[in-house]
Amino acid sequence: MNDFDFLVGTWDVANRRRTDFLDGTSEWEEFPAVSRASRHFAGGANFDEITFPTMGFTGLTLRLYDVEREQWSLYWSNSRTGTLFPPVVGRFTGGRGEFHGDDTHAGRKVRARFVWSDITERSARWEQAFSLDGGVTWVTNWIMEMTRR
């Protein structure tokens, strides 16, 4: 249940995000961020707040570990909506975390996937992808490359 302990601290984040989350051919936009993460419940919970200074909003993720199911639920919110998005649920295997959930985007039902990979003491990678066909094909639409401050 200590899978997200690596994230504790302050990170500089290089973001690449599709201008259209559902179109794999849309342009990428790039922008910076700063993330600050903390550990709670002896490692069974993790919280981070991320500031996007050039985008005009902040976000937060609450991660909770279900001891019985041995899996994480990740909840995202941002200052634009003030509401929690539906969670993505999953676990780490071999140093890679993969999490899935159902959501909507631009009025369409999507399957969401978050992947944590390339985790070291000084760096990590997060990516988000959406599927319109129940997970058969995916459009990777947001990538964060994190470097510890």
Q: Which residue has the tokens 């995000």?
A: 17
Residues 84, 100: Cα–Cα separation, whole Å = 16
pLDDT tens for residues 105-136?
Answer: 888 999 999 999 999 999 999 999 999 999 99
pLDDT of residue 126: 98
pLDDT at 134: 93
Q: What is the pLDDT of residue 106?
A: 86
Domains of the chain, CATH where assigned: 5-148 (2.40.128.20)
Predicted pLDDT at 1: 82
pLDDT attached to residue 21: 95
**Per-residue pLDDT tens digits for 34-79:** 999 999 999 999 999 999 999 999 999 999 999 999 999 999 999 9
